[in-house]
Structure 1
Amino acid sequence: MRLLCIDVGSGTQDILLLDTTRTAENAIQFVMPSPTVLVARRIRQATARKKVIFLAGETMGGGACTIALREHLAAGLSVYATERAARTFSNDLGKVTSWGVKLVSDGEAASIRNGVKITTGDVDFALLERAFSAWDVKLDPGVIGVAVLDHGAAPPGESERRFRFRYLEDRLKKQATLESLVYRASEVPEHFTRMQAVARSLGERTPLVLMDTGAAAVLGASLDGEGACHPERLAVNLGNSHTLAFHLEGLKVLGMFEHHTSMLSLQRLETLLARLVSGELTNDEVWNEGGHGALVLSGGGSPFLLATGPRRALIRPSRLKPCFAAPFGNMMLAGCFGLVRAMALHFSEWRMEIDKALRLD
């Protein structure tokens, strides 16, 4: 059985094709520029040529492409976008149009001439098929897993940061496990517009699971050989944009916080981790300094510290002496291996086969 896992970050998209009949270390692995980086590059090329751009496709992650879009508009150049493409930049379409973006229907978009068409979307299965075919690999997965960071479409007047964390808090208070942060395509809440877009992009051709990028990375980091020996863990994923830390006992969540990596110094990160474990960390403390929030369900203990993510160098000199998780020898694929674990948790009919491939049997 082949499992395709795609972890879409703000800097890279990490791709794993795991054959359960082979060792995990021999899986096919790619680390490529993320879709937002690629779209940003195409926008800037159009800006340099002073071209009108037309954005169509699915809602995807913003970040780099949002910055490029604002620069294009600031240069006095026009932007047309379908509603789904426009939600890439904000779920508040009034905000997007206030920048100068002109919304068009799919039909109107097809009639636009003399512009540069840029397709948006977090997952392009046809492109992946072509990439794999260059090495004579047929892309025919039995299950697909995708991780994206989805802030969610907040109600009018509510911050997306606040809304996202409030939803995570409610979810974990009902079921305090990492498994509760895994969704099948039919289970994705309507307000998670980015996950919904991924599900539409892939259709119903193959069973699909979706996760938040941070939760997937933490789940995957727990497969690291040394980390797996410690039931109580403090797992931190230092992503290019966001840092998430989970205090865990097995898969049970004892507490967590989410922050913006660029706002963290080593000293502040160490303080946040210590206060999370002690149970003293509050939601307002993280929110007021620009993060998303914190949740403590149970404090205390002396957890084993696992660190992963592309910005993990921040914690390298820490007095907390972290273990740098590299499941099956690859730190950048932690999120993908977390998706593999999520597949086993959500599809009981394949659990034994997948667990054997992960050497959990």
Structure 2
Amino acid sequence: MKEMIAFDIGLGTQDILKPEVDGGFNKFVLPSPIKLLKKRVEAIKGDLFIDGYTMGGGPLSKSIVDHAERNSVYMTERSARTISDDLDKVEDKGIILKESKDSEVSKDKNCRDIRSLSLGDLYSLPDVKELLSSIEVDFPSRVGVAVQDHGVSPKGVSDRKFRFDYFKEAIESNRGFSDLIFEEKTGRFSRIDSVIEFLKENGYDPLVMDSKLASVLGCIEEDKRVIVDSGNGHFMAASVDGEEIVGLFEHHTRMLSRDKIKMYLNKLIDGELTNEEVFEDGGHGAYVKDSLDPSEIVVTGPNRNLVPREIGYRTARPLGDVMMTGAFGLCRASEVIPT
């Protein structure tokens, strides 16, 4: 594999993979930036100025909003998109948008009394770089990152539909995974674009994917198979023939029972699953070009135990490690997109 380092950034962990020229791999599983920064926010007493980049929100967003109920919280527009791409909604939560702590926030408060915090999905990158240096491993210029991004949907358009529409367009292009790997800003996905922006501003060569699709790519082989990623938030399944995506659907894990998962997977395999069926059930959507006779079903993700055993699946273990599916997919992506 080409020289790079891969960060698969989730809600609870960031799973990091560094291939070596001799064919070996360095693997690390660390707390996610979301978890680390949430703790930082909760430890701060008093007013807070936040800058940095758009990143994954979830529990971090909640901790910031909770802090704003008791203190003044100032955020730059770029960092505020962590809470919502609709900045009016951010302000409705009591957060004050300011672009500079020293020149603007100080007009409202004595800036010496305001704590500062910088956000970013790659918040831990300097620490990882130092860790690798301590074991005499070079940090490469090529950095792969997987994050989940709904996209910035136009007003009146469901973000579920907006996210899945891009996947559909990419599948229809018949260019395999190449349209699902990003090296330049998309103008469509704010979190992905912010990761690319951070990497370029710091002199790195970016390769970024949606985390679900990175996991799918991490499980493909040359045969026909169904790949399932049962995540904490989203559930995705893809029917693939080698690197060709034949069908795909995405739903919310919390809304799926074992019986419903089995039904959806059978319909995906038979080529009968429709976008309307998944979307009207509260999911993101489905796009199925054809039926597929899979040689096996491969399952990954922290909620893989939700997938019923009777469908006869095996658990994905790239490099013998259930945590490395997405990071391994990013390393494979570096072979799809030339350096």
TM-score when normalising by structure 2: 0.91
Paired with 1:176 and 1:286, the residues of 2 have a C-alpha distance of 25
- TM-aligned CA distance change 1:271 to 1:98, over 3 Å: same
Report the residue type matching 2:191 in the other structure.
Answer: R
8 Å CA contact 1:55, 1:81 repeated in 2: yes
- The worse-fitting range, judged by mean Cα deviation, of 117-126 and 93-102 is 117-126
- The worse-fitting range, judged by mean Cα deviation, of 113-122 and 138-147 is 138-147
Measured after TM superposition, the shift of residue 91 of structure 1 is 0.7
Answer yes or no: is 1:278 the counterpart of 2:270: yes
Answer yes or no: is 1:54 the counterpart of 2:52: no
8 Å CA contact 1:82, 1:109 repeated in 2: no
Aligned to 2:8: 7
Aligned to 1:66: 61
Aligned to 1:79: 73
Aligned to 1:16: 17
Paired with 1:84 and 1:249, the residues of 2 have a C-alpha distance of 39
Aligned to 1:336: 327
Aligned to 1:193: 190
Answer yes or no: is 1:217 the counterpart of 2:208: no
Counterparts of 1:171-210 in structure 2, within 5 Å, are 171-175=170-174, 177-184=176-183, 186=184, 188-203=185-200, 205-210=203-208
Paired with 2:294 and 2:30, the residues of 1 have a C-alpha distance of 37
Measured after TM superposition, the shift of residue 116 of structure 1 is 2.6
Report the residue type matching 2:207 in the other structure.
Answer: V
Measured after TM superposition, the shift of residue 209 of structure 1 is 1.3
Paired with 1:153 and 1:142, the residues of 2 have a C-alpha distance of 29
TM-score when normalising by structure 1: 0.86
Q: Deviations over 1:192-211 (max 9, x none)?
A: 11111111211263432111
Paired with 2:251 and 2:295, the residues of 1 have a C-alpha distance of 20
2:31 to 33, 36, 41: 33
Paired with 2:144 and 2:105, the residues of 1 have a C-alpha distance of 32
Q: Deviations over 1:315-347 (max 9, x none)?
A: 2x4210111010111111111111111101111
Counterparts of 1:125-274 in structure 2, within 5 Å, are 125-133=125-133, 135-175=134-174, 177-184=176-183, 186=184, 188-203=185-200, 205-222=203-220, 228=221, 231-274=223-266
Counterparts of 1:101-120 in structure 2, within 5 Å, are 101-106=95-100, 108=103, 111=106, 112-120=111-119
Q: Deviations over 1:85-112 (max 9, x none)?
A: 0001111111111111110013546743
Measured after TM superposition, the shift of residue 22 of structure 1 is 3.1
8 Å CA contact 2:246, 2:292 repeated in 1: no
Report the residue type matching 2:132 in the other structure.
Answer: F
- TM-aligned CA distance change 1:219 to 1:63, over 3 Å: same
8 Å CA contact 2:80, 2:90 repeated in 1: yes
Paired with 1:161 and 1:113, the residues of 2 have a C-alpha distance of 42
Aligned to 1:358: none
Measured after TM superposition, the shift of residue 176 of structure 1 is 5.5
Measured after TM superposition, the shift of residue 303 of structure 1 is 4.6
Measured after TM superposition, the shift of residue 159 of structure 1 is 2.0
Paired with 2:172 and 2:3, the residues of 1 have a C-alpha distance of 34
Report the residue type matching 1:132 in the other structure.
Answer: L
Answer yes or no: is 1:324 the counterpart of 2:324: no
Paired residues, what number? 331
Aligned to 1:89: 83
Measured after TM superposition, the shift of residue 63 of structure 1 is 1.1
Q: Matched residues, percent identical?
A: 36
Q: Deviations over 1:156-208 (max 9, x none)?
A: 22222221111211221122623331122x2x311211111111211263432
Measured after TM superposition, the shift of residue 18 of structure 1 is 1.1
